[in-house]
Structure 1
Amino acid sequence: MTGAGRKKWYSSSLHKILTNEKYMGDALLQKTYTVDFLSKKRVNNDGVVPQYYVENNHEAIIPKHLFMLVQEELKKRKIAHISKNGQRRNYSSNHSLAQIVFCENCGEIFRRVHWNNRGKRSIVWRCVSRLENTGVFCDARTVREEDLKQAVIQAINELFKNRSNFLKVLEQNIAHTLSSHLHDKLVKVEKELEALQHSLIGLANSNKDYNDVVDNIYKQREEKQQLQLEIAEQDNGRERLNEIAELLKKQTCELETYDEQLVRRMIEKITVHPEKLEIEFKSEMAVEVEI
């Protein structure tokens, strides 16, 4: 049941929950304001009246770190890919290979197509430039889905067979993501924000102009939120690397059948070349498979 007592959940309701800063203990005041005090009608505040952001306003339901991880994922899903001609491709989770298969020739994504070729039905993947008018000529080949899946299985098994070499690379990549410079910058911004807040209180109490200080507070707060997103992205990447490392250590036999969940966890990108596929893992490693 929703908070309003309804049985059906809408995506807009879920988005509001996922982006509501109150879950991490903060509060943005005056998101709406009253336009008619008789009817008590309220509308969204689009800058008509000032808003105030209060950090640590109340006890958090979820850690800030987790909230920022969600924001990083939402940002990534908002626009999954922008093609060379500016076309935006939105995120899709319909298939484990959706929007991770790219054309080496024109840079566009490959799309899953139900094909009927001379009465013979099959599922293939084709470059979007060959399916719609993108303004780019492309003669990239069509790839049968079964061939694509077999290539992915082969690449994953190659990873398992050479796990000792790949684990060394993974350890190096994990160590690289442990860089603390973002945390140091965040601490610096937080100290500057604290100093600005004290300065604002002093100016307000003495009835002096504090507009410049307020502008600086907004700028510092935006920088802080951006740093928190970057840290969440870094932490998310490190978790993915650790997850792949654990898989390599635990997997004792080769993969025989296509595993959608494993592909979602391991594969970052597949590039279709004229005679091969380049399969990149989320560990920044790649395997080439001829097909």
Structure 2
Amino acid sequence: MAIRNVTVIPARKRIGNSAKAEELPKLRVAAYCRVSTDSEEQATSYEAQIEHYTNYIKSNPEWELAGIFADEGITGTNTKKREEFNRMIEECMQGKIDMIITKSISRFARNTLDCLKYIRQLKEKNIPVYFEKENINTLDSKGEILLTIMASLAQQESQSLSQNVKLGLQYRYQQGKVQVNHNRFMGYTKDEEGNLIIVPEEAEIIKRIYREYLEGKSLVGIGRDLEKDGILTAAGKPRWRPETIKKILLNEKYIGDALLQKTFTVDFLTKKRVKNEGHVPQYYVENSHEAIIPKELFLQAQEELHRRSNIYTGADKNKRIYSSKYALSTITFCGDCGDIYRRVYWNIHGRKEFVWRCVTRIEQGPEVCKNRTVKEAELYDAVMTAINRLLAGGDNMIRILEENIHAIIGDTTEYKISEINTLLEEKQKELISLANKGKDFESLADEIEELREKRQTLLVEDASLSGENERINELIEFIRTNKYRTLLYDDTLVRKIIQNVTVYDDHFVICFKSGIEIKV
């Protein structure tokens, strides 16, 4: 048997991308640059880095420039939004890059987890990353140990910076300084000093949304009409989603106030923000900027939002979906069981006809609710009979309505609200003082919350009275303008002045938004 002969071929270590099998004459070297702000000083740094690495790579005869990858104005705490960084990694995985050079670990990543993840991913492809400042090559034996230590320090630096930013924001909030991203905030822009100022043409859109909502239109209906008129959203999109309109109706900034710290950052690495539900303090700044919507109108919108989302009717208190397809939808009620009336088809001798029927009767039958089915023409006639009777009352009706206004003015809650505002101001100063001293302020925070709830209740009451006052004035003007005229049924008119209609076995009761009721 022949003697087995083994020849040892020594390894020749070569830095480079293992994704390519053939030997490369030169290392394809890429550089990664990043600046974290958009300031002029950093922009100069950004340009300088690009120039530096272009010359640096080209000056080495064994290297070949594989590209300069540069992200400008993007945070380094995570890599999700760093497009150039991600493109560079992708090219490494495709075998187009053999080595990466970057200024420092903090430029590459300030997150230990991300940093090590990508270093190891590149290491599998035999691709080193060289950090100039720390003089670390990740393919060296001591590279990963040093890297872990340095990346941890970079992460601590980022955490410290994040904490400083939070403290700065807290201080500004305590001073009542409002920071709003106005780029997607319809109705406002900022002046040279950073103050919110009204954009008149956009303010008209906001006023239209509030007006149409309080006149009975649904969120979907308002959006559909805005789209039809070619009006774009604050983001410049043609589609108006119901959620977008609802946010406008809920935004206190349209009355000149600002609730600060609605959300907060839970993790400085991921930058994840969540709704603030008592986790950190909030600050409510009144009269921080010029209002577009009167406070009374805003509070009426809040009441209407609450009403529409809580339509419970019938014996079983079933929740009903608000509909504004017809003016009398969800405001026509059954005098027997209290449920709403719905517009449906009724087949009479082979001929389809629109009628209104109690929803309980539709769903559970006449054994539960025996109230009648009303032909649409009869319902419309009843409503217009009530409106025309109101107009026929003329000056006498106007006098009754004016007496109602005087009664409402006597019930004003303005003095009580003023007292609570004074007390709130004192308590909030006390809270800031305790917080700055690091003392417990839990019980004081509870007192402030209770006072705010009381004030909100009074504001809603005051807005309700002001709204009622306004509706009476509108009705007075309507009577003066249309005195003694006979009007035909009109959905827009019904939305504007009718509060609700109740159907009984042998009559209707029509209630106007001014509070007046007429039996037909």
TM-score, normalised to structure 1, is 0.89
Q: What is the match of residue 87 of structure 1? A: 318
Distance 1:91 1:157 in 2: 28
Q: Which residues of 2 match residues 102-121 of structure 1 at below 5 A?
A: 102-121=333-352
Q: Which amino acid aligns with 1:53?
A: Y
Structure 1 distance, partners of 2:434, 2:273, is 32
Partner of 2:283: 53
Give 2:508's aligned residue. 277
Indicate the percent of aligned positions where both proteins have the same amino acid: 42
Q: Mark the CA change 1:134 to 1:182 in structure 2 (over 3 Å): closer, same or farther.
A: farther
Give the structure with higher Rg (CA): 2
Kindly indicate whether the alpha-carbon contact (under 8 Å) linking 1:28 and 1:51 is maintained by their aligned counterparts in 2: no
Residues 26 and 53 of structure 1 are in contact (CA less than 8 Å); yes or no, is this contact kept in structure 2? no
After superposition, the Cα gap between the structure-2 partners of 1:67 and 1:138, relative to the gap in structure 1 and judged at 3 Å, is closer
Unmatched segments (≥5 aa) in structure 2: 1-231
1:177 partner SS: helix
Q: Please give the alpha-carbon distance, in whole angstroms, between the structure 1 residues aligned to 2:249 and 2:514.
A: 27
Matches within 5 A, 1:1-291: 1-47=232-278, 49-56=279-286, 58-62=288-292, 63-133=294-364, 137-204=368-435, 207-289=438-520
1:98 Cα offset (Å): 1.2
Q: Per the alignment, do residues 39 and 197 of structure 1 end up closer, same or farther by CA in structure 2, a change over 3 Å counting?
A: closer
1:136/1:16 CA distance change after superposition, 3 Å: farther
Give the letter for the 1:199 counterpart: E
Rounded to whole Å, the distance in 2 between the matches of 1:50 and 1:155 is: 54
With over 3 angstroms needed to count, the CA separation of the structure-2 counterparts of 1:84 and 1:192, relative to structure 1, is farther
Q: Tell me the distance in 2 between the aligned counterparts of 1:287 and 1:220.
A: 40
Q: Look up the SS of the partner of 1:131 in the other structure.
A: helix
AA matched with 1:56: E
| DSSP-derived class of the 2:471 partner | helix
Shift of 1:11: 0.9
Counterpart Cα distance in 1 of 2:355 and 2:432: 64
The offset of 1:134, in angstroms, is 8.6
Deviations 1:77-107 (Å, cap 9, x if unpaired)? 3224433312122332111111222211112
Q: Is the 8 A contact 2:313 2:340 kept in 1?
A: no
TM-score norm. by structure 2 comes to 0.52
Secondary structure at the counterpart of residue 132 of structure 1: helix
SS of 1:233's partner is helix
For 1:166 and 1:207, the matched residues in 2 are separated by 63
- Give yes or no for contact 1:85–1:134 (8 Å, CA) kept in 2: no
**Residue 268 and residue 138 in structure 1: after superposition, are their counterparts in 2 closer, same or farther (change >3 A)?**
same
- Call closer, same or farther: CA 1:115–1:264 in 2, change over 3 Å: same
In structure 1, distance between residues paired with 2:401 and 2:432: 49
Name whichever of 54-63 and 106-115 sits farther off: 54-63
Q: Which sections of structure 1, spanning at least 5 residues, go unmatched? A: none
Superposition CA RMSD, Å: 2.4
Superposed CA offset, 1:252-275 (max 9, x none): 443242122222222222222222
One-letter amino acid of the counterpart of residue 375, structure 2: R
